[in-house]
Amino acid sequence: MSEDVLPTAIVVPRSKVSPAEIALAVGGFGIGTGEFAIMGLLPQVAEDVAVSVPMAGTVISAYALGVVVGAPLIAVIAARYARFQVLLVLMALFALGNFASAIAPDFHTLVAARFLAGLPHGAYFGVAALVAAGLAAPNQRARAVGRVMMGLTIATLFGTPLVAWFGQALGWRTAFAIVGGISLVTMLLTWLHVPKDKGDTQATPLRELGALGKLQVWLLLGICAIGCGGMFAVFSYITPALTEVAGVSLRNVPIMLSVFGAGMILGNIVGSRLADWSLQRAIGIAIAFNVFAYVLFYLTMTNPWVAIVNVLLIGGGFAVVPGVQTRLMDVSGEAQTLAAALSHSAFNLANALGAWLGGLSIAAGYGWTSTGLVGAVLGIAGFGIFLASALVDRRRSTMARQAV
């Protein structure tokens, strides 16, 4: 069922869509910054709360667990409420989690605060994508979703390095306080610019859970959880691959990470346009591109200049996201809120799976760039799931024609 026929859809003048998308993207920027900035501040966190650096990494895992748990739980509970109100509540919860992180007195409290901050992550992106798609013309829905996701990609390029710098200069707690402030700004922009819908009084938790009974939903989530794991397999260990293999100096690693962020932005733009042209083809093309990029990374990571190209291409793998997110809306029927949120749980599973398998490959002695082969295998597996999804669609289309 298309978003424009749902009870929550609102028709607004085109002039009002852009500010709404900006408001939603600012929220994505804050969430992306809050998620990734901590990775550059772990030594400071560990020293301040008196734990080892590996133990401090638990705060990252706690956030990811919050995403996985919160996305489906909140989506099911909030489906009947006005999406405008849901967005405000989710961003308030995110702000609370980050301010709590900034004042956490000890390690265990910090872990709990990061879990709390992770809870609204997936549901926010899911609901924001539904709102953006509902405001867009039918042939521009993926681009609208992509513009919301642009906040997340810009966070990797500017937000994360900038907030991490403030955290290093003024203390890691400052980083979380800044993210909390961005959350409050998002709430204000949402209140001013996002259309106030009336919600869907017919929505129930049982109806939302109906998405889990749809084969295509599971196949698309499989593409996210497995096919997208390659990006995380490579990116999780990108720093030693750059310094130990490509010969990039440690002081230039932040520049290379910015190149990765630029690749994500380009991938988001190209992937959105491809998805508005053809959702199925866009997903297939993006997955095939990812496999190519991972193999190239494995074969050619030999000097800094080639490394720039490789890192840009790996970031470009984000092109698969707008298509998958939009496709999930289309195949989930009336259970769009849960399906849209679950994609972010699946991406966090991809993060865990990719990093784990990449680490196994390195620990087995295959080298830092062997993560490229791990990524390629995961990408090929994801492409297999994509083919299965396309086959299911073709069979259903054939059966429908025969029934007529």
Q: Is the pLDDT of residue 98 over 70?
A: yes
The last residue of one of the domains, among 152, 172, 202, is: 202
Q: Are residues 239 and 344 in the same domain?
A: yes
Identity (one letter) of the amino acid at 313? Answer: L
Copy the structure tokens of residue 328: 């999930």
- pLDDT at position 87: 94
Q: Are residues 247 and 348 in the same domain?
A: yes
- pLDDT at position 134: 81
The Cα angle at residue 129 between residues 339 and 322, in degrees rounded to 5: 85
Q: Are residues 13 and 103 in the same domain?
A: yes
- pLDDT at position 403: 67
Q: Are residues 69 and 160 in the same domain?
A: yes
Q: Are residues 163 and 299 in the same domain?
A: no
The whole-angstrom separation of Cα 236 and Cα 358 is: 8
Copy the structure tokens of residue 28: 């994505």
Query: Which pTM does this prediction carry?
Result: 0.78
Q: Are residues 214 and 103 in the same domain?
A: no
- pLDDT at position 137: 80
Q: Which of 34-43, 155-164, 289-298 has the highest mean pLDDT?
A: 289-298
Quick one: pLDDT band at residue 102, thresholds 50, 70, 90?
very high
In the chain the first and final C-alpha atoms are separated, in Å, by: 21
* Total of domains in the chain: 2
Q: Mind listing the pLDDT tens digit for each residue in 204-260?
A: 666 767 667 788 889 999 998 999 889 888 887 888 888 889 998 877 877 887 898
Helix (H) or strand (E) holding 187: helix 172-193
- pLDDT at position 301: 92
- 239 phi, psi to nearest 5 deg: -65, -50
- pLDDT at position 12: 47
The last residue of one of the domains, among 183, 202, 221, is: 202
Average pLDDT of span 75-86: 83
- pLDDT at position 46: 84
Quick one: pLDDT band at residue 64, thresholds 50, 70, 90?
confident
The last residue of one of the domains, among 171, 202, 233, is: 202
Q: Are residues 326 and 343 in the same domain?
A: yes
Q: Are residues 196 and 60 in the same domain?
A: yes
- pLDDT at position 311: 93
- CA-CA-CA-CA torsion sign (239, 257, 315, 173): positive
Q: Which domain holds residue 306?
A: 204-404
The whole-angstrom separation of Cα 77 and Cα 118 is: 17
Q: Are residues 238 and 188 in the same domain?
A: no
Q: Are residues 270 and 161 in the same domain?
A: no
Q: Is the pLDDT of residue 6 over 50?
A: no
Q: Mind listing the pLDDT tens digit for each residue in 367-401?
A: 889 999 999 999 999 999 999 999 988 887 777 66
Q: Mind listing the pLDDT tens digit for each residue in 317-345?
A: 989 988 888 888 788 777 777 777 788 78
- pLDDT at position 376: 96
Quick one: pLDDT band at residue 39, thresholds 50, 70, 90?
low
Helix (H) or strand (E) holding 45: helix 42-49
Half-sphere exposure of 268 (CA within 13 A, CB side): 20
Q: Are residues 195 and 214 in the same domain?
A: no
CATH number (domain holding residue 107) = 1.20.1250.20
Q: Are residues 167 and 182 in the same domain?
A: yes
